[in-house]
Structure 1
Amino acid sequence: MSELKFIETTDETIYTDILEELENGVGEPLYPGDERRIFGDTMAKVIVTVYNTVNDACRQKMLRYARGTVLDALGENRDVIRLDPTYATTTLRFTVTEAVGSNIIIPAGLRVTGDFVHYFLTDTTAVLYAGSLYVDVAATAEEGGTDYNNIDEGEISEIVDVSDVPLLDGVTNLTITEGGGDREEDEPYRERIREAENKLSTAGPAKAYKYWALSANSLVTDAVVESEKETITRTLKTYAGHAFQGGANLLPDTLVVFLSDGSEATAGADYTAEYADELLTLSLSGSLAGAEAVKIQIGRNMYGRVKIVPICAGGQIPSEEVLADVLAACSADDVRPLTDMVTVEAPETHEYDIELTYYTTKANESEVVQNVEGSGGAIDQYINWQGSTLNQDINPDELRKRILCPDWADDLIGATRVQIIKPEYTELNSTTVAKFSGKKTVKHIVRG
């Protein structure tokens, strides 16, 4: 896509124009060193800066280029508000080493921490009753964002507002902190604005459901919307070498016909199938000729039953809270068509291993190893790419590309050759996400 320019901002063009105007004005050539030409050089730099600023301001009127508060304003015009950050949560346990004879009141908003950087506040007032050694209470991060996620059990151990509860001896988090999401960044927000027009439909298109799913929670970065399917298994009686199964929305491509011993029959040799006017007709032959009954299995679309499968940033599987948010957003009366039944499910996962050998030269060995195996290197990038999106097959060629060419923009040096044993190319259905198993066998060989 070409860059859009409202005014000319090329340095050479502007400089040439200014120099020509000055020379025309004084009626003689201006050579290097002439103070009038030096003045023109300085003026050209100022004008280039002004033109670039004006051009940027004009371009930000377009959704493609808008950012920050300007993008917020464009979103407001389409009734699409940037998603606020979400707050991580956990469960805290407050304890005393010996039971006391009176109740201890733990006020709502009591602050605790594990590093004096990330603070959590109790959600409600709790009471540690006389004779008890502990009480559990839910707590929420002081600020939103992913920085408050993944604090391990037991790491939150300091009561900040100790003067409010002097009788308590300790605190600890019983669960890993989770649920924190950053404020929506410009690119995903821009995509939601682009898809905003889809929400106007009341017919239940997939794009409209996807828009509302992405708007339900800032952690959701992708979603697949599809009609639910069911698998029908029937044993059909035969009539003059034919068997029949009626029903709308059958999927002939999924048909499986079984022989009497339970093995699969061969299409063309043992039967032919035709589906027309909502009737599946089997003409039996070969091993099925003369059969009194035949067992079949076939899929069927269940139109009106909508399944939504969301995924979170970085390929994280959505929690029950996130799934509930998506269901609530997509089932609202002003979103869901009256005849639709909406369900929301977490994606299935398919694990893969990494096993490979790559080659490099002695001169580039240390740099290539860092670019391939280092933190944020080619392998880490591939794992993130492979697992962050639904409806994406496991593709070892993407891993190969990143190892050989880590980053064109930064001119990073990649391997000279790579042999990938695992993963193998694997087709995944639209609601399955690839997840790295953690099993990684990587070695490099130096040649030359």
Structure 2
Amino acid sequence: MDLPDIQFVAEDAAETQQSIITVYEGLTGRTLQPADPVRLFLSSLATIIVQQRVLINQTAKGNLLRYASGVLLDHMGAFQGSERLDAAAAITTLQFTLSIPLSSVTAIPAGTRVGAQGGDGSIFFATTEYLEIPAGATTGTVTAECATAGPSGNGFLPGQINVLMDQLPFVQAVTNLTASSGGAAVETDAAYRERIRTAPESYSTAGPKGAYEFWAKSTSAAILDVYAYSPAAGRVTIVPLLVGGVIPGQDVLDAVAETLEDRGIRPLTDLVTVTAPAAAAYNTVLTYYINRSRAAEVPAIQAAVTAAVAAYQLWQRSKLGRHINPSELIARVMAAGAQRVVPTSPVYTALTPLQVAQEGTTTINYGGLVDD
């Protein structure tokens, strides 16, 4: 809902000062000249009053969800029964391999630590549950999460988490089968505000679209966007997207599915499937020119253009179904200081909520200085 900005009390300094002086002159019957000590004293009072009015506006607006932040937003969420999500640890699937088949069960305790290759032990993953490798078998898989919450555990490709830090008998090797993902910082005010706004959807137990999306987002602070739909009667498909526009791996999909399996969330008759969005790839190719009058600013503008292209790519992949829009790219590059922008790619492409834009190669050409 696009509501206008709200102001509870006027903050205009000149208007407040003139109002105080006018009232004083009306009560005393004398005119205050610009250098009159009384006028200067009243002007100093007006400054304090304006500051108080600013605080009144900030405090009053802070009671509205749109403007609330920090601790006040936490209290609003508590009233709705929705707490801010803590920092989330990256997760992956580990495979333990024995040196030989054994005649008895091999136990892998919960909390067994496995470090990342080349990480010097600073980043490691710990198994989240107890694992047994049956007699006669040589391998077993289990989920593990990074010991450090946040995005630092993301992005380790299969095979890169392979340093067993807690030695176990007969365990010859361990490696991650999936890329680590799902790590995120504490939920931001913007994301938390949106969850609070949609919290009433969660009150229904009939499985509406909004409720499924709310509970899927509640799985982890790493989940940025969710789309829920029903492809057929009694079937529900959930499509999550991670912070930074990252397409979730199977470990994250399983975590969302586990959250939605709760009988207080999923109607008994719904068959829920959690799937990753399809990547809609595009390349970024553009040539830009700078006005000759800004020749001295060329290095700064070039850096700003590079940053603007990166910001556009992040914006493009940060929402499910966001159409690939070169007009947004042009606007951002021009705002960075370019006089003219000639994009070759991308071209406008409409996406469905089951897709997310993913940038491919990026080619930024500086065309030189031009006249107006």
Range of TM-score over shorter length: 0.7 to 0.9
CA displacement 1:287-324 (0-9 Å, x = unmatched)? xxxxxxxxxxxxxxx12111111000111011223212
Q: How much has 1:344 moved relative to structure 2?
A: 0.2
- CA distance in structure 2 between the partners assigned to 1:42 and 1:23 by the alignment: 16
**Partner residue, 1:426:** 349
- CA distance in structure 2 between the partners assigned to 1:62 and 1:385 by the alignment: 27
Distance 1:140 1:344, change over 3 A: closer
Which structure has the greater CA radius of gyration?
Answer: 1
How many pairs align? 335
Query: Contact 1:220–1:312 at 8 Å: present in 2 too?
Result: yes
Query: Contact 2:92–2:179 at 8 Å: present in 1 too?
Result: yes
**Partner residue, 1:75:** 77
RMSD: 3.6
The amino acid across from 1:444 in the alignment is Y
**Does 38-47 or 309-318 show the bigger shift?**
38-47
- CA distance in structure 2 between the partners assigned to 1:26 and 1:118 by the alignment: 74
Query: Contact 1:118–1:142 at 8 Å: present in 2 too?
Result: no
- CA distance in structure 2 between the partners assigned to 1:91 and 1:324 by the alignment: 11
- CA distance in structure 1 between the partners assigned to 2:65 and 2:111 by the alignment: 43
Find the partner of 1:145 among 145, 150, 153: 150
Choose between structure 1 and 2 for higher RCO, CA contacts under 8 A separated by at least 6 residues.
Answer: 2
Find the partner of 2:15 among 13, 16, 20: 13
CA displacement 1:83-137 (0-9 Å, x = unmatched)? 1111235799xxxxxxxxxxxxx99698989889966575699xxxxxxxxxxx9
- CA distance in structure 1 between the partners assigned to 2:269 and 2:47 by the alignment: 64
- CA distance in structure 2 between the partners assigned to 1:122 and 1:343 by the alignment: 28
Does residue 368 of the first structure (1) align with residue 301 of the second (2)? yes
- CA distance in structure 1 between the partners assigned to 2:156 and 2:206 by the alignment: 43
Distance 1:3 1:38, change over 3 A: same
Pairing 1:225-240 to 2, within 5 Å after superposition: 225-228=228-231
What stretches of structure 1 of length at least 5 have no aligned partner? 93-105, 126-136, 166-171, 229-301, 407-411
Q: How much has 1:193 moved relative to structure 2?
A: 0.9
- CA distance in structure 2 between the partners assigned to 1:212 and 1:440 by the alignment: 36
Query: Contact 2:115–2:124 at 8 Å: present in 1 too?
Result: yes
Pairing 1:371-386 to 2, within 5 Å after superposition: 371-373=304-306, 376-377=307-308, 379-386=309-316
Query: Contact 1:85–1:183 at 8 Å: present in 2 too?
Result: yes
Q: How much has 1:351 moved relative to structure 2?
A: 1.4
Pairing 1:38-117 to 2, within 5 Å after superposition: 38-88=40-90
Q: What is the TM-score normalised by the length of structure 1?
A: 0.65
**Partner residue, 2:259:** 329
Find the partner of 1:441 among 357, 363, 366: 363
**Partner residue, 1:168:** none
The amino acid across from 1:422 in the alignment is S
Pairing 1:123-202 to 2, within 5 Å after superposition: 141=146, 143-150=148-155, 178-202=181-205
Identity %: 33
**Does the residue aligned with 1:363 lie in a helix, a strand or coil?**
helix
Query: Contact 1:201–1:208 at 8 Å: present in 2 too?
Result: yes
Pairing 1:380-419 to 2, within 5 Å after superposition: 380-404=310-334, 406=335, 412-413=336-337, 415-419=338-342
CA displacement 1:315-355 (0-9 Å, x = unmatched)? 10112232122112223211122221110001111211122
Find the partner of 2:30 among 28, 31, 36: 28
Q: How much has 1:440 moved relative to structure 2?
A: 2.3
**Does the residue aligned with 2:206 lie in a helix, a strand or coil?**
coil
The amino acid across from 2:363 in the alignment is T
- CA distance in structure 2 between the partners assigned to 1:50 and 1:181 by the alignment: 38
- CA distance in structure 2 between the partners assigned to 1:337 and 1:205 by the alignment: 10
**Partner residue, 2:171:** none
- CA distance in structure 2 between the partners assigned to 1:52 and 1:173 by the alignment: 57
Q: Which has the higher helix share?
A: 2
Query: Contact 1:90–1:173 at 8 Å: present in 2 too?
Result: no
- CA distance in structure 1 between the partners assigned to 2:271 and 2:236 by the alignment: 6
Does residue 207 of the first structure (1) align with residue 210 of the second (2)? yes
Query: Contact 1:120–1:139 at 8 Å: present in 2 too?
Result: no
**Partner residue, 2:98:** none
Q: How much has 1:366 moved relative to structure 2?
A: 3.0
- CA distance in structure 2 between the partners assigned to 1:118 and 1:19 by the alignment: 65
Distance 1:141 1:343, change over 3 A: closer
Q: How much has 1:435 moved relative to structure 2?
A: 0.9
Distance 1:111 1:317, change over 3 A: closer
